[in-house]
Amino acid sequence: MSLNEIPKSELEGELVRLRQQLAEYETIFNAGTIYFWYKDAHNRILRVNNAAAALDGYAPAFFEGKRTEDIFPKEQAAAFYKDDLQVINSGKPKLNNVELHTPSGTNETRWLKISKVPTRDENGQVNGVIAYGFDLSDEEKSEVEVERSKILLESVINGIYDPIFVKDEKHRFLLLNDTMCEMMKKPRSELLGKSDYDFFSKEQADIFWAHDDLILGSNDVDINEEEFTREGQTHTLSTIKSSFINPLTGKRNLVGSIRDITARKQAETELHQLRSYLANIIDSMPSIMIGVDKEGTVTEWNLEAARVTGVKNKDAIGQLLVQVFPRLASDMRGVNKAISTKREVIELKRSYQQDDTTYYEDVIIYPLIAKGLEGAVIRVDDVSERVRIEEMMIQTEKMLSVGGLAAGMAHEINNPLAGMMQTANVMTNRLTLENIPANRAVAESVGTNMTVIHAFMEQRGILRMLEAINDSGERVSGIVENMLSFARKSDAQSSSHNINDLLDKSIELSATDYDLKKQFDFKSISIIKDYAADIPLLPCEAAKIQQVFLNLFRNGAEAMQEAKVAQPTFTVHSYFDQEHDSVCIAIEDNGPGIDDEVRKRIFEPFFTTKPVGIGTGLGLSVSYFIITENHGGEMTVESELGKGARFCIRLPCNSNGEQP
> Residue 401 has what pLDDT?
60
- Does residue 272 register a pLDDT over 60? yes
Name, in order, each residue with C-beta under 8 angstroms of 517's C-beta and a sequence gap of 6 or more.
none
User: 355 near 335, Cβ under 8 Å?
Assistant: no
> Residue 239 has what pLDDT?
86
Element (H, E) at 310: none
> Residue 518 has what pLDDT?
43
Domain residue spans in the chain?
32-136, 150-266, 285-382, 388-483, 494-652
Average pLDDT over residues 589-606: 81
> Residue 6 has what pLDDT?
67
For 205-236, what is each residue's pLDDT tens digit? 888 888 888 888 888 888 888 777 767 778 88
- Does residue 543 register a pLDDT over 60? yes
CATH, domain range 150-266 = 3.30.450.20
Amino acid letter for position 102:
T
32-136 and 285-382: same fold?
yes
pTM beyond 0.95: no
> Residue 223 has what pLDDT?
85
Strand partners, 252: 245
Strands (DSSP E) contained in 218-338 are: 222-230, 233-245, 252-260, 288-293, 298-301
> Residue 306 has what pLDDT?
92
- Does residue 613 register a pLDDT over 60? no
- Please state, in angstroms and as integers, the Cα–Cα distance from residue 568 to each residue in 184, 640, 660, following that order: 92, 17, 31
To the nearest 10°, report the CA torsion of 228, 233, 234, 235: -70
Indicate the class that CATH gives domain 285-382: alpha beta
Name the fold adopted by 32-136. Beta-Lactamase (3.30.450)
pLDDT band at 148 (very low <50, low <70, confident <90, very high): confident
CATH superfamily for domain 494-652: Histidine kinase-like ATPase, C-terminal domain (3.30.565.10)
End-to-end CA distance of the chain: 129
Q: Strand 233-245 to strand 126-135: parallel, antiparallel, or no bridges (unpaired)?
A: unpaired
> Residue 517 has what pLDDT?
44
> Residue 22 has what pLDDT?
77
126-130, 190-194, 374-378, 614-618: lowest mean pLDDT where?
A: 614-618
Between CA 540 and CA 548, with CA 546 as vertex, the angle to 5 degrees is 100
pLDDT band at 653 (very low <50, low <70, confident <90, very high): confident
> Residue 281 has what pLDDT?
83
